[in-house]
């Protein structure tokens, strides 16, 4: 099987496994929380996105990883992680917290979509071995990030339900 086929198959299976895990174990618990606490949990997960800077760290990724993909992915993740950390640091100032929640979800979801576009454009699936130690990020971590962005943005757009 070609590296391109393996990468694409693993990416799809990563989404399937993350959706199953999220739907069975995480979403039911998030639904029991109020909106603030649920968004705080999601921000905590995204606060680790500073790790994406490793996409531009020599020795972690291969020398032939396309810079057009790596640089944007690294700094998009970094910005999202910083915004999520700022949300967590401002939990006592609710308007500021909500502003950072909106910001990190919009920036983060956009980053992932643009990263997929760049990856396709530079032929990353065929060069997946150049991801080196970072290979697990798009296969395992990114699907969970995208799923949580989708849920967080949906909850931000949805009117809060009033308890009866």
Res. 161 pLDDT band, cuts 50 70 90: low
* Interval 44-85: pLDDT, tens: 999 999 999 999 998 999 999 998 899 999 999 999 999 999
Q: Cβ-count burial of 35 within 10 angstroms (0-12 exposed, 13-18 middle, 19+ buried)? A: middle
Write down the domain spans for the chain.
Answer: 3-54+65-157
Q: How far from the centroid of its chain's Cα atoms is residue 97's Cα?
A: 19
pLDDT at residue number 162: 60
| 129-154 mean pLDDT | 96
Instruction: Give residues with Cβ within 8 angstroms of 64, minimum separation 6.
Output: 127, 130
Contact 81, 88 (CB under 8 A): no
pLDDT over 80 (residue 164): no
Work out the angle at residue 27's Cα, subtended by the Cα atoms of residues 139 and 76, and round it to the nearest 5 degrees: 45
Long-range Cβ contact pairs of 156-162 (< 8 A, separation 24 or more): 156/39, 156/101, 156/102, 156/105, 160/35
Instruction: Copy the structure tokens of residue 90.
Output: 């401002």
* Interval 4-54: pLDDT, tens: 999 999 999 999 999 999 999 999 999 999 999 999 999 999 999 999 999
Work out the angle at residue 145's Cα, subtended by the Cα atoms of residues 119 and 113, and round it to the nearest 5 degrees: 35
Grouping H, G, I as helix, E, B as strand and the rest as coil, residue 58 is strand
Q: What is the pTM of this model?
A: 0.93
Instruction: Copy the structure tokens of residue 38.
Output: 């649920």
């Amino acid at each position: 099987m070609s590296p391109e086929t393996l990468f694409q198959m693993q990416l799809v299976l990563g989404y399937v496994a993350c959706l199953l895990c999220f739907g069975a174990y995480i979403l039911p618990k998030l639904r029991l929380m109020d909106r603030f606490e649920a968004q705080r949990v999601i921000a905590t997960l995204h606060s680790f996105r500073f790790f994406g800077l490793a996409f531009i760290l020599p020795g972690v990724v291969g020398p032939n990883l396309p810079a057009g993909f790596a640089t944007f992915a690294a700094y998009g993740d970094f910005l999202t992680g910083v915004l999520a950390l700022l949300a967590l640091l401002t939990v006592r100032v609710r308007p500021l917290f909500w502003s950072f929640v909106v910001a990190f979800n919009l920036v983060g979801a956009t980053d992932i979509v643009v990263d997929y576009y760049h990856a396709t454009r530079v032929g990353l699936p065929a060069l997946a071995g150049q991801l080196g130690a970072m290979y697990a990020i798009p296969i395992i971590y990114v699907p969970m990030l995208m799923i949580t962005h989708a849920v967080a943005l949906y909850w931000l757009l949805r009117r809060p339900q009033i308890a009866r």
